[in-house]
Chain A
């Protein structure tokens, strides 16, 4: 009788103890989550400031590079630009781990440019060789994420391979979209490392700032978060032809866009008024070299449907947007010169007219508000 009572009491105590333990674990878990959240919020705000400063600095460096383009100091400015890009990438990666944003580009970009942008964000970028160009573009919202993911993959590839080896990038269209293949000639990964990478790259994993290890390894975590957020996939489980790691980024169709021709604005047509100056043979040369757009000597070419007159010609910061311009050449080609050594007066007038329009257009381009609105 007594024994039965004691037994009952023991069971009750055990139950009570288990409950307490559960509560305790819950409380600890909750505290951890709260701490994680607080850390993320703080870091996110801090990184936002750093990201803003880095992009401000990049603009400043761009201006300096244009101003001192002839000066020896340009070499240093190019180096500083490179350092700034790496710095911006670090800030972006941490922001991603803290559920922050990368900042969204306003325009679609060509896949080739996005790959080159990624290349510029790592230290040993000269070891990266891009073996193929492509006619695909990436929609504006995915430009920064894809560039950052590629930069992290390239950073890994350069870190885990010998300094004299090359990292190769190939772009391959596949039925589901486009693959960007990154091959290194490094030591590769063992099964354990592959499993860890696959876990971090899978979308189920949620990023945690406090479990990155020491020294922190955030590459794969950042890639996993971005791939899940923007709907593309990254795998690193195959071996490259050189025995290292082959990383494959598969971009689905909805992140891609076909690359249209650079916008040709009326300003361009107006600034290239000398079709006869261009011997037909030369335009054909350019076309045969792979230039796909309308050559400047053919202003009558159908306007590219891409030309978007509604788009602002200047940026929010008041900077003129870069646009492709036709050549304003006042020196005729050599062949032309041989045939007609003396210009008749009408031609001279037309040349002078071209010169004047050229200088006007040049002057106007410094005046941001009027660029692109000229009507002749």
Chain B
């Protein structure tokens, strides 16, 4: 039987491999471990493991040029952020990636201390 008359999908089908298959049905991670701006890059000495999934290889490929944030990885791979976190977490645990916590924003100094310093300086030099 010929199949040439088979109609194409009327609209573009969604991705063949669904995100829940990529994570193998695992629960999402706690938000404590990775945030949107956690930076990761490839480990200089990658471990020898069994062949990785195309998605995991894709993440490694993206990170090979330097540090990349979770948000950027999600943007490039077009995978949901929660799914990217699972992939990155796996790769970090296996030693393929290393992560770096985001640089903490400068702490606001207590106003009272600043005033005391100002007063001290004025008392001494003013």
Q: Is the CB of B9 within 8 A of A55?
A: yes
Partner of A85, one of B18, B22, B79: B18
> With A117-B17, A333-B65 known to touch, is A327 a contact of B82 (CB < 8 Å)?
no
Q: Is the CB of B61 within 8 A of A316?
A: no
> With A103-B9, A116-B21 known to touch, is A333 a contact of B76 (CB < 8 Å)?
no
Partner of A282, one of B12, B17, B44: B44
Residues of B within 8 A of A316 (CB): 10-12
Task: Report which residue of B10, B14, B41 has the largest number of chain A beta carbons within 10 angstroms of its beta carbon.
Answer: B14
Q: Which of chain A's residues 41-78 have a Cβ closer than 8 Å to chain B? A: 52, 55-56, 58-59, 61-62, 65-66, 68-72, 74-75, 77-78
> With A289-B52, A325-B76, A333-B67 known to touch, is A315 a contact of B12 (CB < 8 Å)?
yes
Q: Which of chain B's residues 62-92 have a Cβ closer than 8 Å to chain A? A: 62-68, 72, 74-76, 78-84
Cβ-based interface call for B13 (8 A): yes
Q: Is the CB of A62 within 8 A of B65?
A: no
Whole-angstrom distance from the CB of B96 to the nearest CB of chain A?
7
The total number of A-B Cβ pairs within 8 Å is 198
Complex Cα gap A70–B34 (Å): 11
Report the contact-size class of chain A (Cβ under 8 Å from the partner). 35 or more
Q: Which residue of A lies closest to B24 (CB)?
A: A126
Q: Is the CB of B19 within 8 A of A278?
A: no
Partner of B7, one of A72, A104, A297, A335: A104
A contact residues vs B (CB 8 Å cutoff): 52, 55-56, 58-59, 61-62, 65-66, 68-72, 74-75, 77-79, 81-82, 85, 101-106, 109-110, 112-114, 116-117, 119-120, 125-126, 133, 141, 143, 147, 228-230, 272, 274, 277-278, 281-283, 285-286, 288-291, 293, 295-297, 315-317, 319, 321-322, 324-336, 362
**Shortest Cβ-Cβ A-B pairs, 4 listed:** A315-B12, A69-B81, A69-B80, A329-B66
- List 19 extra interface pairs beyond A79-B20, A120-B21, CB under 8 A: A58-B14, A59-B14, A65-B80, A68-B80, A70-B81, A103-B9, A104-B9, A105-B9, A125-B21, A283-B64, A285-B45, A286-B64, A297-B65, A319-B12, A325-B62, A327-B64, A327-B65, A330-B66, A331-B68
